[in-house]
Structure 1
């Protein structure tokens, strides 16, 4: 079989001695290569030949492990989404301190991941969303999870600030989950846009991006917690 397909038992291209790497290692190599290729070229233009070459394996081995280009792209989106959600949750869950410090920790983790994994961020923020279904749905699920997580932080901050009540609504009355959800949507949307801008702008660090969003968002949220709302004149 190795002579027909171009790889041996361990999946090494050519006729050399096969390296018996575990399947999980081989799959990680393929997914790493796929992230680079999809980020550079998009889904349609990405080449399975290039992905195989970047991974150091044969193209038939990529198909053997991951079945199709569509399944490979889906696997990439899911892996990178889980990694991003994981680092944000790890930075915040179980962390003590005031609500603004927990939000800061989550934002810093978010921007740091986007900065340290620019190809992964491009796949999640651009490639998956513009390709249509089923890929856009995968990206939407990731965004929903992040938004729900941020909404929980905002709701927790509001309860602490108001002694167990909610965020102050118009006229001082506490509002329900819809406004908290709206605030979370606004914050996540701002974070996504700012992360893409920071990655494309030389010299902007993850810490600077996170601080910018805290300056923009927390000042407003802090006033909101004190029932200080903007209203048109």
Structure 2
């Protein structure tokens, strides 16, 4: 205990240590199995100190979800370079997404598996993150489609369903890639790009697939 007190770390550094330990523990052990004792030990602090910074296990888990969600959204946004062709922007966004989830498997497990399986208030945090990514992808696809159609009136709603499908596929594929040895972020991104781009490109050039007439 004396060694812990003697460190005198700044609050922000101490909080980051605790959050890193919590994300690792929640991601690998699950929310219910994880204990505050285990998190405190991994962070190198006392359990009372964890409770001093974050009042409960539920509050700590919510803070982990918010941090990991914010980091993922920022990574995707930062990965897309304005001015690239539509396929280049989508490719860059997918590479950023899969690179981040591969480099932060515990954070992705917290977002994709743990938070979704324990109901409120946790799932609301994940839904907010997902909505932001879907809106971003909708904007990317919509802007490219308007440019291809040369129709500034083409609304984002026309491609919102595609964005939902693309994000959903990316989420599932990220979980599979992280659980499958040897699958790189680039390979995962290329898999989804090959799956999605042919349809998106046809849509952007007014060649959508149509169901056969009855």
How far off is 1:97 after superposition? 1.6
Q: Does 2:180 correspond to 1:208?
A: no
- In 1, are the aligned partners of 2:139 and 2:156 still within 8 Å (CA)? no
How far off is 1:177 after superposition? 3.3
- TM-score using structure 2 length: 0.95
Q: 2:171 aligns with which of 143, 167, 192?
A: 192
Q: Which residue of 2 aligns with 1:228?
A: 207
- In 2, are the aligned partners of 1:158 and 1:165 still within 8 Å (CA)? no
- In 2, are the aligned partners of 1:91 and 1:109 still within 8 Å (CA)? yes
Q: Which residue of 2 aligns with 1:12?
A: 4
- Structure 2 spans left out of the alignment, 5+ residues: none
- In 2, are the aligned partners of 1:12 and 1:57 still within 8 Å (CA)? yes
Q: Which residue of 1 aligns with 2:133?
A: 146
- Structure 1 spans left out of the alignment, 5+ residues: 1-6, 167-173
- In 2, are the aligned partners of 1:111 and 1:206 still within 8 Å (CA)? yes
Structure 1 or 2, whichever has the larger Rg, is: 1
Q: Which residue of 1 aligns with 2:48?
A: 60
* 3-state SS of paired residue (1:44): coil
Q: 1:116 aligns with which of 87, 103, 122?
A: 103
How far off is 1:165 after superposition? 4.2
* 3-state SS of paired residue (1:45): coil
Higher relative contact order (CA 8 A, sep 6+): 2
- In 2, are the aligned partners of 1:107 and 1:210 still within 8 Å (CA)? yes
* 3-state SS of paired residue (1:43): coil
- The Cα RMSD (Å) is 1.4
In the alignment, the residues of structure 1 paired with residue 99 and residue 53 of structure 2 have an alpha-carbon distance, to the nearest angstrom, of 31
* 3-state SS of paired residue (1:87): helix
How far off is 1:43 after superposition? 1.3
Q: Which residue of 2 aligns with 1:101?
A: 88
- In 1, are the aligned partners of 2:149 and 2:206 still within 8 Å (CA)? no
The count of residues paired between Structure 1 and Structure 2 equals 212
- In 1, are the aligned partners of 2:36 and 2:47 still within 8 Å (CA)? yes
* 3-state SS of paired residue (1:34): helix
- Map residues 167-178 of structure 1 onto 2, 5 A cutoff: 176-178=155-157
How far off is 1:20 after superposition? 1.1
**Structure 1 residue runs of 4 or more that deviate by more than 6 Å after TM superposition:** none
In the alignment, the residues of structure 2 paired with residue 31 and residue 60 of structure 1 have an alpha-carbon distance, to the nearest angstrom, of 15
| Structure 1 stretch displaced more, 37-46 or 60-69 | 37-46
- TM-score using structure 1 length: 0.87
